[in-house]
Amino acid sequence: MKKKAIPVIVALILIVILGVVVVGGYLLERFSYSEERMDLGEYFGSQGEYLTIVLQDELLEEQALVRDGRCYFTLHQVQELFQEGFYADEGEQLLLFTSATDTTKVRFGEKQYENAAGAVTADYVICFREGEQVYVAADYVKQYANFSFEIFPYCVQIYNQWGERVEAPALKATAVRVLGGIKSAILADVAEGETLEILDRMETWCKVKTSQSIIGYVENKHLGTESIVTERPVTDYVPEEYTGLSLPERVSLGWHSIGGVGGNQSLDSMVSGTTGMNVIAPTWFSMCDNDGNIRSFGSRDYVDKAHRYGLQVWGVLDNFNYANENDVSIDEYAVLSSTAKRQRLIENVMSLAKNLDLDGINLDFEQINSAVSTHYVQFLRELSVACRKDGLILSIDNYVPFNFNSYYRLDIQGQVADYVIIMGYDEHWHGSGDPGSVASIGYVTGGLERTLEQVPAHKVVNALPFYTILWKTEGAEVTDEYVTMRNQAALIASKKLETSWNEEACQNYAEWTEDGVTYRIWFEDAQSIMAKLNVMIAKDIGGVAVWRLGYEDKSIWSLLSTYSKLPLTNTAQ
């Protein structure tokens, strides 16, 4: 019996041993720490010279170029992360930075940059074009923006915001892992006492960042007492102040439409009967080719007479009148995307302004498309520098702002210009086939509210229409014609119209049918103008403009004069 029991006992012992081995292996597998290591190049997605950017505590998809020990960012990265004021003229191979008083230029591939103070040579290539990208040296960008950067083997750490961070020391040597779990691959080893930045604390693991900007997870039990550290911001770059010119009272501007040199003789009749107007803006200057040249109807006698009337003269520069008059096409992109042509355009208008003794320039560039936006904005920056240097007031005309025309960049205009004029009309425009008000109160109010989100109130001028549109509907066809404010009374009398106040538009309205045609008109008169002025008063904006002189009922000037004499409380410069 004893001999028969031995095999059974041996078998049981073997089973127990096997069970211990299996259970032990399972427990070891479950509770032991993985020694697998993650390749940091794969983790960061970095390859060769291209290192992934860590912005603050976020791993971006963007990469920086590190070459010859220097860090370079793409122009897009520079504009998005550090300083929007950089501009590349790829045709002329130039990188520009325009401040409040000057433009600094550097040619692609060179180490020297130049501004009004002279030329400066760096010990590195400042910028260059490679493939589809323009790259700019981080060291050069730091001259014009506040940020810090540090190059690590697999990433470039950038800080452009500062506050407080939480830190804790490692209580013992441990590892930073890809995820919060002992089976997760190791990213980096941590020495005892090494300080880690705490990004997020969970129940048993912490998301941390190492001194090498490796972001991963460490067990809470391996971290010591947390401390709060106040970060020291970079303040090396001090931007120049955009000093500006302004009138001592609210702007009251009248556009004087002049279609030839003979039109200057109408100044007396345009001014006659006006009260409170302090600026007249003759439509003298127009782009006339794709090289930056200007057609001018300017007259020094006109300016001298206007000055005797007590008016400032802001010459209007547009991009459409010459083209329309001569049935030619002006390519704004060709002019504004070229530094040489932009400069010629600016030099031409500044020369005219000086010879004519103008007080300001009123820029009226319309129907600019989004492809021109970057170049248009650079033109505004450069034009503002020239105006500031010569003591000219710069005002810029704009459509009522919406998302679809946001590329006109009212935010930048509010910085570089003295006045931003909103053409608060053409809600429904000539030829649109869509009957409605030219400037309802909701349209004007909404436009001002959106403008004031981007432009200081004392720089905002709202333009009012001295005209309306008579809409004619016959079946499915809609046509229209302009009606000036001064001709409305004759229309009402001839048609024996009965008008009614439209509360939604804050305008008097009339509608009638004649010979199968339905006519509709929203009038601009003392009541509608007063409603708009009340909104402008409530928002304490910088003034009023009117399109155009000669269209008005002269009685309307008493309202405009009263408005322009109201004290402007929001006068911060």
Please count the other Cβ atoms lying within 10 Å of the Cβ belonging to residue 290: 16
Q: Which CATH architecture has domain 42-155?
A: 2-Layer Sandwich (3.30)
- For the chain, which residues make up each domain, given as ranges? 42-155, 163-230, 251-564
Q: Where are the beta strands (DSSP E) in 306-446?
A: 312-318, 360-364, 393-399, 419-423
pLDDT (0 to 100) of residue 25: 47
pLDDT (0 to 100) of residue 569: 83
For residue 160, what is the enclosing H or E element?
Answer: none
Give phi and psi for 136, each to the nearest 5.
-125, 135
Taking only the tens place, the pLDDT of each residue in 58-108 is: 999 999 999 999 999 999 999 999 999 999 999 999 999 999 999 999 999
- What mean pLDDT is predicted for residues 147-160? 98
Supply the DSSP string of 184-226, one letter for each residue: SPEEEEE-TT-EEEEEEE-SSEEEEE-TT--EEEEEGGGB---
pLDDT (0 to 100) of residue 53: 98
Q: What percent of the chain has pLDDT over 90?
A: 94
Here the tokens at position 216 are 């991963």
Bridge partners, 106 (sequence order): 95, 113
pLDDT (0 to 100) of residue 568: 86
- What mean pLDDT is predicted for residues 297-320? 98
Say yes or no to pLDDT of 27 above 50: no
Following CA atoms 219, 224, 227, 231 in sequence, which dihedral angle do they give, to the nearest 10 degrees?
-60
Is the domain spanning 163-230 CATH 2.40.50.100? The answer is: no
Helix residue ranges per DSSP H, 32-55: 40-44
SS3 assignment for 224-268? CCCEEEECCCCCCCCCCCCCCCCCCCCEEEEEECCCCHHHHHHHH
Give the distance, in angstroms, between the CA of residue 135 and the centroid of all CA atoms in the same chain.
22
Taking only the tens place, the pLDDT of each residue in 331-345 is: 999 999 999 999 999
Starting at the edge strand that comes first in sequence, how are the strands of the sheet with 86-89 ordered?
A: 86-89, 94-98, 103-107, 112-115, 118-121
Is the domain spanning 251-564 CATH 3.30.70.1290? The answer is: no
Q: Residue 570 — very low, low, confident or very high, per pLDDT cuts 50/70/90?
A: confident
Residue 66, helix vs strand vs coil? strand
CA distances to 85, 291, 382 from 88, rounded to whole Å, are: 10, 19, 14
pLDDT (0 to 100) of residue 3: 61
Taking only the tens place, the pLDDT of each residue in 448-482 is: 999 999 999 999 999 999 999 999 999 999 999 99
Contact present, 418 and 244 (Cβ < 8 Å):
yes
Give phi and psi for 216, each to the nearest 5.
-165, -150
Residue 270, helix vs strand vs coil? helix
Contacts of 338 (CB under 8 A, 6+ apart): 89, 91, 92, 292
Taking only the tens place, the pLDDT of each residue in 414-456 is: 999 999 999 999 999 999 999 999 999 999 999 999 999 999 9
**42-155 and 251-564: identical CATH topology:** no
Question: How is residue 400 annotated by DSSP?
Answer: P
User: Taking Cα atoms as reference points, which of 477, 451, 474 lies closest to residue 462?
Assistant: 451
CA distances to 164, 226, 233 from 229, rounded to whole Å, are: 6, 10, 12
Rounded distance between C-alpha atoms, residue 387 and residue 363, angstroms? 12
Q: Is the pTM higher than 0.85?
A: yes
Q: Residue 28 — very low, low, confident or very high, per pLDDT cuts 50/70/90?
A: very low
- What mean pLDDT is predicted for residues 200-213? 97
CA atoms lying within 13 Å on the CB side of residue 418:
25
